[in-house]
Every structure is written in C-alpha cells, then in structure tokens.
Amino acid sequence: MKFLVVKSKTIKIALLLICVAILLSISYNGATSASVFFGTAPRKVPIYSVDTTNKQVAITFDTAWGADKTEGVLKTLKEFNVNATFFMVGFWVEKYPELVKQINEQGIEIGTHSNTHPDFVKLSKEDMRLELDSSIEKIEKITNKKVELFRAPYGSYNNTMLNLCDELNLKTIQWDVDTLDWKGLSAMEITNRVINNVKNGSIILCHNNSDHILDALPLILDRLNKMGYKVTSVGDLIYKDNYQIDNLGIQHKK
C-alpha cells in the first residue's frame, strides 16, 4: 500500500513537471515563456539615436492634433534650408490632405504615426497591422511615395509590434531629445531642452501644433546651426542596412 502511495505521488510530480515544461516553452512576443519568466527574454528596441561621428541630427514632428501652425513650421524649415520628418496619424491625413501635399512637395519626409493614435501594446497583432496598413495607404495615396518609417503613439512598443514592423519593412523611430513642447513650455525652455541634450546622431521630438513651436523652432535651428550641426530628416540620418541596435536604442553601423 505504501509503495502505491509513493508511486502515485511520483507520477503526479512527473506530470506537474511536464506541464511546467510545456508552459515555459510557449512562445510569447517572440520569446519563450521561460525566458520571460526568468527575465532573460531578448527585448527588441526601436531606433532612439544613431552612432555617428558626423555633426548631424534629425528633427521630427508628430502630427496628430490641429494644423494651424503647420504652415509656419514649413516656412521656418524652408528659411533655414533644413529637412525634417513628419510622423502623421491617419485621421490627420484625411482631414488635411492639402497640407500633406504641401509638406510632401517641400521635400519633407513623411512617416506614419498610426491611423487612430492607439497604444500599440494594448492591441492584437491583427489590429496593429490594420492601424499601419490603413495609415500608410492614406499617406501613399497622396504622396505617391513609399512610407518607410513609423513612430508608435506614446512611444509605446513591444516585440510583437517591432516584429510586425520588420515584416512590413518599416523602421520604428523613437527619439533621444524630447522638447516636451506639448506641455506648454516657453520657446526658450523648449530650445534649452534641445541644446542641453543634443549630440551627434540625435533624433529630436517636436509636435506640429504645440503652443510655442513657431517661436521655438527658429531658436532651435539657429542654435544648432551655430553649434555646427546639420539638421536633416530621419531617413537621411539613419543607416538603411547592415546595422545593429543596442539595448539603449542606439543604431550602429556594422
């Protein structure tokens, strides 16, 4: 009788171990549950900045809410003879198609910022794909240019999103210099945030319709010019192939 009890416990323990092994082998966001559980899962990251010896930075404008300052932004960019990247949300593209044309005709790079500005981490892969496909279709219909860059709303991402972007041949772009212009900071405060944090290969985050962007942008571009920086679009800054991204989001040429 004692032998049967011991044997029964052994069988139960063995079955439990088998179940645990199966659970830990299940894939989660491209990694096994075991690596997630033990904290060893490889976490992919977008491009936050670029490792370069060139005094070059990219300036970007998230474009989702409002448009009355956009023409002023374009005028300032033209006056300083610099390029930039606008990350547009699909509903903004629908509402302001003539501005999209104007931005494109000025030679400004356009990337997608999703279709409805959701938190991608809360979406299924299928809904992520729908957000990207819809927004890209709207942009490309107007510009006749391929969309190659994506910035996630709120800067929120996970491996599922980044793997999907790889499938769609989209490079996901974050930033390493945040102007916080959407918080209502003064033009000088915005400018100081850029000047105090910028370095070779930086990607600067602005918004097309923030309160003081029209006052801040000329100050930013003037100071960057005096510091010897060339201001470009993201596409002109990043490496297109043969690169790696470290765990800090810095893109390195292999």
Name the residue type at position 83.
N
Q: How far apart are CA 101 and CA 107, in angstroms?
A: 10
> Among 62, 117, 176, 181, which one carries the catalytic annotation?
62
Q: Is the CB of residue 95 less than 8 Å from the CB of residue 234? A: no
What are the beta bridge partners of residue 88? 63, 112
Name the residue type at position 88.
M
Helix (H) or strand (E) holding 244: strand 243-245
Structure tokens at 104: 């494109």
Name the residue type at position 160.
T
Please compute Rg for the chain using Cα positions. 23
**Residue 202, CA distances (Å) to 156, 188, 234 in order:** 19, 20, 10
Whether 222 is catalytic is: no
Whether 207 is catalytic is: yes
Which 8-state DSSP code applies to residue 186?
-
**What's 32-73 look like in SS3?**
EHHHHHCCCCCCCCCECEECCCCCEEEEEEEECCCCCCHHHH
Structure tokens at 233: 């679009």
> Among 113, 117, 207, 212, which one carries the catalytic annotation?
207
SS3 label, residue 158: coil
SS3 label, residue 232: strand
**Among all residues, which ones are annotated catalytic?**
62, 207
